[in-house]
Amino acid sequence: MDNQIRTDRVTRFINTLNQAKELGLRVTETTECSLTLCLPYNERIIGNPDTGVIHGGAITTLMDTTSGSLMLCALDVFELCPTLDLRVDYMRPAEPHKPVYARAEVYKMTRNIIFTRCEAYQESGETVANCVATFMRIGPEALPKAYREKITGGPV
């Protein structure tokens, strides 16, 4: 699997998630063990109207989506892995009117559990938030074949 295939898979996947579409999430980079998504600035997700800073919930969704979609890059066979838990540390408010990026990587994978970490940052390079999460592997069979084919773009 090359990076173009990974990008296509992740793009097709996040396009099936209404909230990810609503936020305008898009793929900026994929590797065999990492994924970067971008959250564009949007006035509708502001948490603090005085400063224009976006709400932490949008960053949580960005990081959950990035960490959860990472499995499409890290596993050859598409498995949807439900999130078990997620911990977010907020380092600084995201600067308004600028996109936020999240880069997630798998740091340990077992038969049942996948451990990820993720960093949200902006173009200046400043970290906005850090997140560690665990995901449960429920196997590819937990999803209908038609949906898996839609995401992988071919027969599974």
Partner 1 sequence: MTDPEILNYTRETGDFSRLINSIPYAQFIGLECDQFGDDLIFRLPAKDQNLGNPVLPAIHGGVIGGFMELSAAIYLMLAQETVRMPRIVNFSLDYLRAGLDRETYAECKLTRQGNRVANVMITAWQKSRSKPISTARAHFLLED
Would you tell me which residues interact with partner 1 (CB under 8 A)? Answer: 16-20, 22, 43-50, 54-58, 60-65, 68, 80, 82-90, 143-144, 147
**Minimum distance of partner 1 from residue 135's CB (angstroms):** 10
**Minimum distance of partner 1 from residue 50's CB (angstroms):** 7
Q: Which is nearer to partner 1, 62 or 70 (CB)?
A: 62
Read out DSSP for 117-139?
EEEEE-TT--EEEEEEEEEE---
Q: Which is nearer to partner 1, 7 or 61 (CB)?
A: 61
Structure tokens at 90: 């907020």
Q: Give one word for 52, left, alpha or beta, with left for phi > 0 and alpha for psi -120 to 50.
A: left
Say which DSSP state 111 is in. S
**Minimum distance of partner 1 from residue 19's CB (angstroms):** 4
CA atoms within 13 A on the CB side of 115: 4
**Minimum distance of partner 1 from residue 79's CB (angstroms):** 13
Q: Which is nearer to partner 1, 68 or 73 (CB)?
A: 68
* Residue 17: how many other CB atoms lie within 10 Å: 15
Select from 77, 124, 73, 131 the least CA-distant residue to 102: 131
**Minimum distance of partner 1 from residue 36's CB (angstroms):** 17
Q: Which is nearer to partner 1, 57 or 139 (CB)?
A: 57
Q: Which is nearer to partner 1, 3 or 51 (CB)?
A: 51
> Do β-strands 127-136 and 113-121 pair in parallel, antiparallel, or remain unpaired?
antiparallel
